[in-house]
Amino acid sequence: EEERELEKKEDKARSNLRSSAQTQYESGVNTQDIPKHIAVIMDGNRRYGRKVYGSATKGHWDGSKTLVNFAKWCLAEQIQILTVYAFSTENWNRSAAEISSLMTIFLQYCEELRTEAIKRDIRIHVLSTDKEKIPKDVRSGLEKMERETQNGKKLIMNVCLSYGSRGEILHACKSIAYDVQYGIIPSLDLITEEDVQRRLLTSHSLLPRSGEENGDKEHTFDNFVDPDIILRTSGEMRLSNFLLWQSAYSELFFIDKTWPEITKDDLLKVIRSYSKGRKRRYGK
């Protein structure tokens, strides 16, 4: 019975991936005011699963479908980078049964996302601070997805899986310490924010500056695009070890709906609010 239900969900997800529904530009926001980079803490799958199915793990399947739809909506609204928090390093502390279910979902959707990302010109990166904990079959699927979508140009999609921001910053600091120790960076006084930034897992989130026709030129610090928006669902109001360095000047949005309940209208409201009601001064 449960296997048949999962098969139905997979079929529905495939249909959503291939559908052109809700792929039209709808926000009405001037292109120069659209956020370039949206990052999402996809919270509430378990809560939704308990409420709708009486099973926390079943909510993750619906959450996966919402992720697929959300990527399509971002494409339609000309968002250039989408970063999602799929599984934190702290999530390894959950029950073995739930972790097993989540890994099954990741493995199933690797192939689906890979195929459709190629069709839709999406480049997928998987950001992990503790890759060794990811099962080998899942890791292999993720690597294949990254490798075969590397030429995508319409949307950069970062999937944070087995990721923790403190670990990411710690790794960057260790890398800098190594470079100072062995003379690659001649002096502590020469360490800059750019040295940290280029060692973060999001360092590939680059967009060409005005006047550059492509991304082939060597990038400098102001090419890095940190999230304009951090969006968290399910009513929680914290970052939970997600993009702590990168979110220094991000606008924070919190929606009191679980992740599987999110609709395109919710995204449109966030984009419109960002473009019309939020003034980013960067300390000026």
Residues assigned a catalytic role: 43, 91
Closest CA to 70 of 270, 275, 228, 277: 270
Distance separating alpha carbons of residues 135 and 130, to the nearest angstrom: 11
CB 158 within 8 A of CB 177: no
CB 229 within 8 A of CB 32: no
| DSSP string across 157-218 | EEEEEEE-HHHHHHHHHHHHHHHHHTTSS--GGG--HHHHHTTSTTTT-B-PPTT--SS-SP
Distance separating alpha carbons of residues 88 and 104, to the nearest angstrom: 16
Report, in angstroms and rounded to the nearest whole number, the Rg of the chain calculated over CA atoms: 19
Show Cβ contacts of residue 153 under 8 Å, excluding neighbours closer than 6 positions.
121, 123
Which pair of tokens denotes residue 237? Answer: 């109001």
Distance separating alpha carbons of residues 122 and 113, to the nearest angstrom: 9
Q: How many CB atoms lie within 10 A of CB 47?
A: 17
Distance separating alpha carbons of residues 244 and 267, to the nearest angstrom: 22
Which pair of tokens denotes residue 81? Answer: 């980078």
Distance separating alpha carbons of residues 228 and 34, to the nearest angstrom: 9
